[in-house]
C-alpha cells in the first residue's frame, strides 16, 4: 500500500500531554463513510497514543430519531468493529457503548437543568434535523447537545485536566456549548468540570457528498451515489466515483471555485499522502477520467486493510463483546468519579 498519510503515527505513549484526555463518539445510524473516517476516526487513531482516550458509540443519541431495535443493535456492533478495524486499539483506548454507562444519562439530566433554552435554540444541527417539523421532533433531539456535553465532560478527570474532542467541523458548535456548560457549572459550583477543546483536522474536516458537493457527506443522506462507505467494495467505489459530480473546466487543480473537483482532490490528497503541488503536477495535461481512475485506486487500496480487519473482528466469536464489556467497565469507573464530584458540589449527595 502506498498510503503514508493514513498510516502516519507521529506520537508515542509517554509524550508530553500525559494526563490529558480524549473523548469522541459516532452515532450507530446508517453506514460509516469516508467523511467520518477522514474527519474524525483517523485523528482518533493518532491521538490515542498521546492521551488517555475514550471512544464511544452513541446509541442514546441515535434514538433521538426513531430506530428499529434489531438494526440499532447490529449497527452498534458494526460501528464498534469499524473503530477497531480503523486502528483504534482496545488495549490502548477504551471503546464502549454509551447506553452501557448510565452515568451519561444521569449527568445529562443534571446539565439539562442548568442549560438555558436559548443556547439550544441556537443549535444549527437541531434546525437541520427537525427540518421544519419542530412540533413533532422529540424533546431528546432538542436536548441532544446536552447529552453530548455529558459524554465529554464525564471524562475530564478529577481534578479537571486538558480534554480534547476530535471531530469534523459540523460538531464545533456542540463542543462550544459543552465548554459553555462546563464554565457555567464551574462558576456556580466550583472547579469541577474541564472545559474541552475541539480538535478539527486542517484537511478533511468536511468531506462533501459526491452527488452534491454543496452538502456534507452524511450517513443519513439516502442517494445511492452520495457517499463512499467504509465497507463498499472496489466495484461500488468505482461506480460512485465515476458518477461524482464535477465542474466545468478541464484542468485538474485545487480550485475552491470548482467544489466538486476540490472535494475529489481533497479525498485523493488524504488517501495518497501527496501534497497539492505533487498532485497537480501528476495530473498535468490529464482530465477527470484520469483523476477518477486514480482516485478509485487509492480509495479502494486505502480501505482494503480496514475491510480485512473488520471481517476478522466480526469473525472472532466473543471478541467484540469482551472489548465492549471491558470498555464499559473502565468508562464507568472513570465517569463515576466526575459524576460524584458534580453531585457533591450541587448538594445531590
**Which of 144, 164, 148, 63 lies closest to 104 in space, CA to CA?**
148
Site for ligand LTN in 169-228 (CB under 6 A): 171, 174
The verdict on 30 binding ligand ATP (CB under 6 A) reads yes
The verdict on 104 binding ligand LTN (CB under 6 A) reads no
Exactly one of 129, 172, 239, 343 is catalytic; which is it? 129
Which does residue 226 bind out of ligand LTN, ligand ATP, none, counting CB within 5 to 8 angstroms by kind? none
Q: How far apart are CA 245 and CA 258, in angstroms?
A: 10
Q: How far apart are CA 227 and CA 1, in angstroms?
A: 23
Contact pick of 2, 7, 220, 233 for ligand ATP (by CB under 6 A): 220
Q: How far apart are CA 218 and CA 161, in angstroms?
A: 33
Question: How many angstroms separate the Cα of 206 from the Cα of each of 201, 262, 327?
Answer: 9, 12, 29
284-291: long-range contacts at Cβ-Cβ below 8 A with a sequence spacing of 24 or more? 284/252, 286/252, 287/250, 287/252, 288/246, 288/252, 288/261, 290/252, 291/252, 291/261, 291/264, 291/265
The verdict on 206 binding ligand ATP (CB under 6 A) reads yes
Considering the complex, what minimum distance in angstroms separates the CB of residue 100 from ligand LTN? 14
Number of Cβ atoms within 10 Å of the Cβ of 77? 17
Which does residue 266 bind out of ligand LTN, ligand ATP, none, counting CB within 5 to 8 angstroms by kind? none
Locate all alpha helices (DSSP H) within the chain, ordered by sequence.
Answer: 4-7, 34-36, 42-47, 59-62, 69-86, 103-112, 117-121, 124-130, 139-153, 172-189, 234-243, 259-272, 276-282, 288-315, 319-346
Considering the complex, what minimum distance in angstroms separates the CB of residue 69 from ligand ATP? 18
Binding string, residues 44-83; x marks residues near ligand LTN by CB under 6 A: --------------x--x----------------------
Q: How far apart are CA 92 and CA 312, in angstroms?
A: 19
Size of the site for ligand ATP (CB under 6 A): 20
Is the CB of 26 or the CB of 306 nearer to ligand ATP? 26
The verdict on 167 binding ligand LTN (CB under 6 A) reads yes
How many degrees, rounded to 5, is the angle at CA 346 between CA 343 and CA 349?
A: 45
Number of Cβ atoms within 10 Å of the Cβ of 128? 12
| Contacting range for ligand LTN; rule: CB under 6 A; set: 10-18, 145-153, 242-250, 291-299 | 145-153
- Let me know if 219 is a catalytic residue: yes
- Let me know if 127 is a catalytic residue: no
| Contacting range for ligand ATP; rule: CB under 6 A; set: 11-19, 131-139, 201-209, 293-301 | 201-209
The answer to whether 245 touches 212, Cβ cutoff 8 Å, is yes
Is the CB of 45 or the CB of 171 nearer to ligand ATP? 171
The verdict on 42 binding ligand ATP (CB under 6 A) reads no
- Let me know if 202 is a catalytic residue: no
The verdict on 241 binding ligand ATP (CB under 6 A) reads no
Site residues for ligand ATP per CB under 6 A: 26-27, 29-30, 35-36, 39-40, 167-168, 170-171, 205-207, 216-220
Site residues for ligand LTN per CB under 6 A: 23-27, 58, 61, 148, 151-152, 165, 167, 171, 174
Amino acid at each position: 500500500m502506498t498510503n503514508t498519510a493514513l498510516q502516519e503515527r507521529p506520537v508515542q505513549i509517554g509524550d508530553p500531554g500525559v494526563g490529558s484526555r480524549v473523548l469522541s463518539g459516532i452515532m450507530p445510524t446508517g453506514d460509516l463513510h469516508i467523511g467520518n473516517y477522514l474527519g474524525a476516526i483517523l485523528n482518533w487513531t493518532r491521538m490515542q497514543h498521546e492521551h488517555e482516550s475514550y471512544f464511544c458509540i452513541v446509541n442514546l443519541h441515535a434514538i433521538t430519531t426513531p430506530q428499529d431495535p434489531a438494526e440499532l443493535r447490529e449497527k452498534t456492533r458494526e460501528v464498534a468493529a469499524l473503530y477497531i478495524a480503523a486502528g483504534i486499539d482496545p488495549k490502548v483506548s477504551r471503546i464502549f457503548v454509551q447506553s452501557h454507562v448510565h452515568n451519561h444519562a444521569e449527568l445529562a439530566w443534571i446539565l439539562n437543568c442548568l442549560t438555558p433554552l436559548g443556547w439550544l435554540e441556537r443549535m444549527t444541527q437541531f434546525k437541520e434535523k427537525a427540518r421544519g417539523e419542530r412540533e413533532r421532533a422529540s424533546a431528546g433531539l432538542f436536548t441532544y447537545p446536552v447529552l453530548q456535553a455529558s459524554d465529554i465532560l464525564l471524562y475530564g478527570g478529577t481534578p479537571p485536566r486538558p480534554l480534547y474532542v476530535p471531530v469534523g467541523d459540523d460538531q464545533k458548535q456542540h463542543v462550544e456549548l459543552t465548554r459553555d456548560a462546563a464554565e457555567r457549572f464551574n462558576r456556580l459550583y466550583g472547579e469541577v468540570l474541564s472545559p474541552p477543546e475541539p480538535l478539527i483536522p486542517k484537511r478533511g474536516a468536511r468531506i462533501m457528498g459526491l452527488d452534491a458537493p454543496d452538502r456534507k457527506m452524511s450517513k443519513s443522506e439516502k442517494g445511492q451515489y452520495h457517499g463512499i462507505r467504509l465497507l463498499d467494495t472496489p466495484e461500488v467505489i468505482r461506480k460512485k466515483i465515476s458518477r461524482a459530480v464535477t465542474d466545468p473546466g478541464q484542468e485538474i487543480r485545487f480550485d475552491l471555485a470548482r467544489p466538486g473537483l476540490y472535494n475529489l482532490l481533497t479525498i485523493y490528497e488524504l488517501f495518497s499522502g501527496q501534497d497539492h503541488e505533487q498532485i497537480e503536477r501528476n495530473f498535468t495535461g490529464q482530465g477527470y477520467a484520469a483523476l477518477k481512475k486514480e482516485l478509485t485506486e487509492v480509495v479502494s487500496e486505502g480501505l482494503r486493510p480496514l475491510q480485512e480487519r473488520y471481517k476478522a473482528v466480526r469473525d472472532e466469536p466473543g471478541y467484540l463483546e469482551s472489548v465492549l464489556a471491558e470498555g464499559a467497565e473502565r468508562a464507568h469507573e472513570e465517569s463515576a468519579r466526575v459524576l460524584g464530584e458534580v453531585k457533591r458540589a450541587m448538594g445531590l449527595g
